[in-house]
Amino acid sequence: MSDLAEVRADLEWVMAYWPDLVDARLPMATKRPWRQTELTLEARAEQDAQARLERIDRTALSLGESPAPVDVVILSAVLDLLVRADDLAAAVAEHAGLPVLPAPRPGELDAWPYLAYAAAHLDEDLAEWAAPIARRMYEQTASALAMIHDGQTLDVVCPWCSTTAVWRVQELPGGIVAIVCHGECEPPLNEVGTWWGGRPVWPITDWERLAHHVQAAEKRSRETVARGKMAS
């Protein structure tokens, strides 16, 4: 994979999980490590835009103004990532001779426009310089998500061992954030990210692909039930 492709992949990954990270700064926020992927790109963009507007409306959170208790560590990560995203988008714009996006207003916690702008306009000339910045943003987001979701059990059926609630989000040695199956599970080798303690492991970067397997298994299960009802 080229530097440009890697940078874009890292930025798009941060974009995908940005809403979870922003919501998680509120201690009472619902934890959502499992992301559904059935939306079209257009539908997702529309949903993300609406979600951003709703967050801006309800969570203006600037220094000295705190309408709800916040997780200071997560908020600090959000603010740091927002600054990095703004700086990266500005550097990309200046390099490409494009207009620089306005800086975030006080209380705005939306890095999505800056990440999207940088990903869209970045070129090969700037990719090598941007690569460590994008990778650091990816690692910082993953680390924050680990604090949010570590130990959470997912209420889904494993497509391979057909057992419910055996998947657990864990932070493994080396800071790897992953889903670990604790059932009697032996998936095909090409479907496993890695192994830990004899258990199959899917790092956070594999979660979108893993979601497709879960959705496909649920669809097959529904079709089997429907055929059974028709036969009876």
Domain coordinates of the chain in residue numbers?
3-149, 153-231
Q: Which H/E stretch holds residue 80?
A: helix 72-96
pLDDT score recorded for residue 52:
43
Interior angle at CA 49, CA 16 and CA 154, nearest 5: 40
What residues contact residue 206 under an 8 Å CB cut-off, 6+ apart?
193
Q: Which two tokens stand for residue 174?
A: 């080396």
Round to whole Å and give the CA distance between 123 and 111: 20
Residue type, 89: A
pLDDT of 215 > 80? The answer is: yes
pLDDT of 30 > 80? The answer is: no
Asked whether the whole model's pTM tops 0.75, one would answer no
Q: pLDDT class for 32, splitting at 50, 70, 90?
A: very low
pLDDT score recorded for residue 130:
95
Q: Which two tokens stand for residue 32?
A: 């959502």
Interior angle at CA 50, CA 47 and CA 53, nearest 5: 150
Round to whole Å and give the CA distance between 34 and 154: 8
pLDDT of 9 > 60? The answer is: yes
pLDDT of 67 > 90? The answer is: no
Q: In this structure, are residues 113 and 18 in contact, taking their beta carbons and an 8 Å threshold?
A: no
Q: pLDDT class for 1, splitting at 50, 70, 90?
A: low
Residue keyed to tokens 């890697």? 6
pLDDT of 207 > 60? The answer is: yes
pLDDT of 17 > 80? The answer is: yes
